[in-house]
Chains A and B, each alone.
Chain A
């Protein structure tokens, strides 16, 4: 609708709150982050130090470990969690009896806060009373009796990443929703040709929800880059920085008031996110057109 002259004021007034908040909490913080990353700001004083923060960060083992771990999380999610989600979505797309119940149940971890999930799984991994050790002990793997999964250098990362598979339901639901839009005609045609269920799933359904599958991979990468709660609450980046991730690293810099350094880490994180997104777009785009 064209705007009448006397309504321009209203139009601006309607956009203003969103625009002001967006400027205040998106544009300004990013500029601020960039600016302070070149200083040695400690909450009180700030002096320009050039690229010193960046150089120091990349020479820190724990920071490089944080980046590697974040990539590790992203890759696991893209290569394991999302494909598993696809398989379950394909299986539930048959819409056999009770599929809605399974969909709902698998979605539960997404609804519960990550803080509560972190507490829950910390209890599962606990050395003294944990569920996991008890099960292992009972099936004869008593080597793991009293094994501290999250406190051990060798198992901490594996435990964290293993537990993250419980989020498979989110991606499954997104892909499952997409299968509802596939026309029955394809399946009828396949039936006449004598296709088995497994063939229908992999040759009809899967290719038709490809774009949603790629979308899920992008989402998974974004989520895992910004993830904080699990690591912070379950291991706090330990033992020996083994499970460190970027946001926990930034948090730690903040608590010791090394704000310039923390800002530099934030800039690197945003740049990394942008690079991953561009990279994924390029890979997935060429895939789609082939």
Chain B
């Protein structure tokens, strides 16, 4: 075949491109892990050389120094509560929109989903004022409320689309049998919609876990600080102890990467679902 040469050239090109981007995406992480196991002197000497002795105590120091356990627990509590509330509210609203006929439902759906396009970071000043007005500044609940709210457009959108795809027959049968509104939601819709709830929930959880600007805007005390906001203090806390700082960054990244590796497919669909259908 005449195509053989170009095919070979193309597949070489292909692997060069793919491998170089893999290196670009991952190499800095690997370097960070390696660096976090050195002494500061070794780091400044040669960034690539393996350390003489792996300095695992960098990690125990970092965990203590930065109070990482507390930060991670805070993030976990806030993200879990916000995700739970968000999915509960969004699925209730999506159930009403996807399964019932009332004249203003399209307006409602359009309005809520338009929220996806609002660049929310432009609203930090009003958010600051509103949270202060509600007396929720520097409270976990304030942050939970904001996280729950900012995720509502995407969650409502994903769940409404998902609910629309579930066959109506079971629900109609139960309706004729006298199953009321609330029972249809809890007993019929939610169990059938579990994959959709998981997708929307994954998106929402990762959003909360990785959120930075509102955590910085709406909290100040160390007791309720989240891990992402905590990271911004590392440069000061570790000052010239670079390897300690690296270890702290590695620990802060680990939960996300572990969850991602365990639930790859779910995370990928979750993070791209809101966009692909839009």
Contacts and interface: CB of A to CB of B under 8 A. Distances in A.
A26 interface: yes
Nearest to B242: A129
Given A2-B101, A7-B181, A198-B10, A116 B115 contact: no
B223 interface: no
Nearest to B44: A129
A69 B276 CA distance: 28
B148 A250 contact: no
Contacts, number: 269
Interface in A129-188: 129-131, 134, 165-166, 168-170, 173-174, 177-178
A229 interface: yes
A177 B272 contact: yes
A177 B115 CA distance: 25
Contacts of B229: 115
Given A3-B100, A26-B115, A116 B122 contact: no
A60 to B, nearest CB: 17
B210 A113 contact: yes
Given A105-B22, A111-B257, A115-B231, A3 B276 contact: no
B50 interface: no
Contacts of B182: 10
Contacts of A26: 115, 118, 149, 153
B47 interface: yes
Contact of B171 (A1, A36, A216, A259): A1
A266 B276 contact: no
Nearest to B150: A25
A82 to B, nearest CB: 12
B76 interface: no
Nearest to B11: A197
Q: For chain A, which range describes its interface: under 10, 10 to 19, 20 to 34, or 35 or more residues?
A: 35 or more
A226 B119 contact: yes
B16 to A, nearest CB: 10
B232 A19 contact: no
30 contacts: A2-B101, A14-B185, A17-B88, A17-B92, A18-B112, A19-B93, A25-B127, A25-B150, A26-B115, A30-B123, A88-B18, A91-B17, A104-B260, A109-B25, A111-B267, A113-B227, A129-B35, A169-B25, A174-B272, A177-B272, A178-B276, A197-B11, A212-B276, A216-B275, A222-B117, A226-B120, A247-B122, A247-B213, A254-B124, A269-B121
Given A28-B126, A84-B21, 9 more contacts: A17-B89, A115-B231, A116-B253, A121-B28, A131-B28, A134-B48, A166-B28, A177-B272, A197-B7
Interface of B: 1, 3, 6-7, 10-11, 14, 17-18, 21-22, 24-26, 28-29, 31-32, 35, 43-44, 46-48, 88-90, 92-93, 95-97, 99-102, 108, 111-112, 115, 117-130, 145-146, 148-150, 152-153, 156, 168, 171-172, 175, 180-182, 185, 206, 209-213, 217, 227-229, 231-232, 234-235, 242, 245-246, 249, 252-253, 256-257, 259-261, 264, 267-268, 271-272, 275-276, 278
